[in-house]
Chain A
């Protein structure tokens, strides 16, 4: 709850780029229609192993940002920053604010990423390893690749900033942190969410942990074999509700609550009963002033790994959620696991679902695992929502769990 006693942060803009679409409208339409677009990326996985990946369509035809934004920079702008900019542009265009207006306000930037903050330039590394001259541009590009700093600098914004690197929960944690900044009046507006690009390191790494499905991923399915990796960005613009109303601009929804908690269990596996997830969910509901009965849908982390999907369904069942009243889905069968972007991408998709009033079943899940105590919605199924409040949840390496409680505006 904010210092002034109000609950939640108004969503005045949202943007998304991921495999289902180059903007939020295209992505959501394809998600509802069951369109799944995977690609086979040569060399991305170890030799003799191949798996689908989900590639986002990058463009630079911005709606609000200057088209020449990335020209004449003294460094290259990496793919993660470009993905973020594409979603930021869409989100800001919806706010009805100009860049000049934004530059006069305290605008925070809170973004999650994983790959986006690593120095994974293979050519540079190979040259260095072999004692050859290295490319100073690559080095400088890395030193200018902090996601929040770059977005702040490119847009000329001044306000708090944070890059959250909480692995796969980074995007959700960034949204939660952004809400807390508004609660304590650290800024007026926050651009938040997550962005991440595909990388060979992540593909080989997840494969080494035997978490990658060689075929299309099937979250919650009886025969699920693991996750598929993806890339993208999901961005929300959050503002204090009263300042939006004063300006007469549109509110698309609200982030009502946020909870974060740890499993204190294992470096890479979730607690089997979802211990931290339950605590994070309880905290988020309390922050939102909501109860389980208020929740109309759950957008699960739903990676398609046996352990993740079991932990999430166990946690929801033991907390008292009812799959007939609170349908649970995963969207990763359409987006892939976009790592640090996932929490942002899924927050946008949760908001669009709440505003649509109907939820679409989990892409890739043809038969829900009968061993689950809580039954998610399968592919091809649809259900009308009974309310406007939903949950988006993220689990991460390190046992970190983040939960957002969101409210739609019913359009």
Chain B
């Protein structure tokens, strides 16, 4: 089956602009939640306004390599220094809190699944999202990757990661639809396969992902790299047609077909 992608959102944390209407609901949220909710709002707001939005048939798969790691360490700091733990901070440290915020603020009542993996978290979420659309479980599905990293991780990367550059925090979000409910698809996805390769932990700190699409290759560092690059290539530069796409890294390979709408 072919799954349409009808909207994309990507942003680094530094460039994130939170819509004013979300400010009140996000006043206590951490960066991880800000990124997730803003991205979800960015891809869904248009189709909610158009109507025909079925809350029960809209869901999400959120992938992350590290989850809300900075917030996790803020809670750990309170524990080891014997301060009272902040209940808000603790609730934000739970990995699926961003999904909960997205669902609550955007009124999504279908599945909300958070997946954690050091290897290809976006594409693992995408694989499950495509299956949910194909099976008819969902009509609309947000697929996200959110990464905020942490000061501890950045320090560990510089100590043990062979001088790898720090990665920018950010988010990538695609909206999948059963049929193109929101209008013309940006592109279509088919046959996503993920092959995992064995990697020793520290190798991941100097990671690079190479994206091959349309006969061209680009290599990107960082955990959001391939998902963000692919979004840019597909949306901004319009590299469409019928293209096998391949993402390669030390820890495995992702293969899928990406088609333009006109190519069907």
Set of chain B residues within 8 Å of A394, measured between Cβ atoms = none
Contact with A along B178-212 (1 / 0, CB 8 A): 00000000000000001010101110110000000
- Complex alpha-carbon distance, A160 and B69, angstroms: 25
Closest A residue by C-beta to B198: A153
Contact with A along B98-116 (1 / 0, CB 8 A): 0111011001111111111
User: With A139-B156, A162-B117 known to touch, is A398 a contact of B99 (CB < 8 Å)?
Assistant: yes
- Complex alpha-carbon distance, A96 and B113, angstroms: 32
**Is B15 among interface residues, defined by CB-CB distance under 8 A?**
no
Question: Do residues B111 and A208 form an inter-chain contact, with CB atoms below 8 A?
Answer: no
In the assembled complex, the CB of B152 is this many whole angstroms from the nearest CB of chain A, namely 6
Question: Do residues A400 and B96 form an inter-chain contact, with CB atoms below 8 A?
Answer: yes
Question: Do residues B94 and A397 form an inter-chain contact, with CB atoms below 8 A?
Answer: yes
Question: Do residues B95 and A261 form an inter-chain contact, with CB atoms below 8 A?
Answer: no
Question: Do residues A184 and B114 form an inter-chain contact, with CB atoms below 8 A?
Answer: no
Question: Do residues B103 and A264 form an inter-chain contact, with CB atoms below 8 A?
Answer: yes
| Chain B interface size range | 35 or more
Contact with B along A268-298 (1 / 0, CB 8 A): 1000000110010000000000000000000
- Complex alpha-carbon distance, A262 and B205, angstroms: 35
- Complex alpha-carbon distance, A173 and B115, angstroms: 11
**Is A134 among interface residues, defined by CB-CB distance under 8 A?**
yes
**Is A100 among interface residues, defined by CB-CB distance under 8 A?**
no
Listed residue (A74, A128, A266) with the most chain B CB atoms within 10 angstroms of its CB: A128
**Is A163 among interface residues, defined by CB-CB distance under 8 A?**
yes
**Is B264 among interface residues, defined by CB-CB distance under 8 A?**
no
Set of chain B residues within 8 Å of A228, measured between Cβ atoms = none
Question: Do residues B99 and A264 form an inter-chain contact, with CB atoms below 8 A?
Answer: no
User: With A149-B119, A153-B198, A201-B75 known to touch, is A114 a contact of B159 (CB < 8 Å)?
Assistant: no
Set of chain B residues within 8 Å of A396, measured between Cβ atoms = 96
**Is A301 among interface residues, defined by CB-CB distance under 8 A?**
no
- Complex alpha-carbon distance, A200 and B96, angstroms: 19
Set of chain A residues within 8 Å of B79, measured between Cβ atoms = 122, 200-201, 204
Question: Do residues B76 and A120 form an inter-chain contact, with CB atoms below 8 A?
Answer: yes
In the assembled complex, the CB of A342 is this many whole angstroms from the nearest CB of chain B, namely 14
Question: Do residues A398 and B77 form an inter-chain contact, with CB atoms below 8 A?
Answer: no
**Is A66 among interface residues, defined by CB-CB distance under 8 A?**
no
Set of chain B residues within 8 Å of A97, measured between Cβ atoms = none
Question: Do residues A397 and B117 form an inter-chain contact, with CB atoms below 8 A?
Answer: no
Question: Do residues A265 and B104 form an inter-chain contact, with CB atoms below 8 A?
Answer: yes
**Is B229 among interface residues, defined by CB-CB distance under 8 A?**
no
Closest B residue by C-beta to A136: B160
Question: Do residues A399 and B100 form an inter-chain contact, with CB atoms below 8 A?
Answer: yes
**Is A393 among interface residues, defined by CB-CB distance under 8 A?**
no
Closest A residue by C-beta to B159: A134
In the assembled complex, the CB of B193 is this many whole angstroms from the nearest CB of chain A, namely 9
Listed residue (A117, A126, A184, A279) with the most chain B CB atoms within 10 angstroms of its CB: A117
Question: Do residues A126 and B80 form an inter-chain contact, with CB atoms below 8 A?
Answer: yes
Question: Do residues A163 and B69 form an inter-chain contact, with CB atoms below 8 A?
Answer: no
Set of chain A residues within 8 Å of B55, measured between Cβ atoms = 264
- Complex alpha-carbon distance, A210 and B56, angstroms: 31
Set of chain A residues within 8 Å of B19, measured between Cβ atoms = none
Interface 9-mer from A164-172, A216-224, A321-329: A164-172
Interface 9-mer from A4-12, A27-35, A140-148, A238-246: A140-148
Set of chain B residues within 8 Å of A263, measured between Cβ atoms = 103-104, 109
Question: Do residues A268 and B115 form an inter-chain contact, with CB atoms below 8 A?
Answer: no
Question: Do residues B75 and A205 form an inter-chain contact, with CB atoms below 8 A?
Answer: yes
Set of chain B residues within 8 Å of A275, measured between Cβ atoms = 109
Question: Do residues A143 and B117 form an inter-chain contact, with CB atoms below 8 A?
Answer: no
Give which listed residue, B59, B85, B128, B152, contacts A125 with CB less than 8 A: B152
Closest A residue by C-beta to B55: A264
**Is B93 among interface residues, defined by CB-CB distance under 8 A?**
yes
Give which listed residue, A167, A262, A279, contacts B94 with CB less than 8 A: A167
**Is A260 among interface residues, defined by CB-CB distance under 8 A?**
yes
- Complex alpha-carbon distance, A144 and B202, angstroms: 9
User: With A177-B128, A184-B134 known to touch, is A267 a contact of B113 (CB < 8 Å)?
Assistant: no
Give which listed residue, A47, A140, A165, contacts B95 with CB less than 8 A: A165
Question: Do residues B75 and A75 form an inter-chain contact, with CB atoms below 8 A?
Answer: no
Question: Do residues B56 and A261 form an inter-chain contact, with CB atoms below 8 A?
Answer: yes
Question: Do residues A117 and B95 form an inter-chain contact, with CB atoms below 8 A?
Answer: yes
Set of chain B residues within 8 Å of A167, measured between Cβ atoms = 94-96
Set of chain B residues within 8 Å of A120, measured between Cβ atoms = 72, 76
Question: Do residues B86 and A139 form an inter-chain contact, with CB atoms below 8 A?
Answer: no
Closest A residue by C-beta to B130: A184
Set of chain A residues within 8 Å of B10, measured between Cβ atoms = none
In the assembled complex, the CB of B69 is this many whole angstroms from the nearest CB of chain A, namely 7
Contact with A along B36-60 (1 / 0, CB 8 A): 0000000000000000000110010
Closest A residue by C-beta to B63: A162
Question: Do residues A165 and B152 form an inter-chain contact, with CB atoms below 8 A?
Answer: no
Set of chain B residues within 8 Å of A119, measured between Cβ atoms = 69, 72-73, 152-153
What 9 pairs across the A-B complex have the smallest Cβ distances?
A398-B100, A143-B201, A205-B90, A165-B95, A208-B85, A144-B201, A260-B111, A208-B87, A398-B96
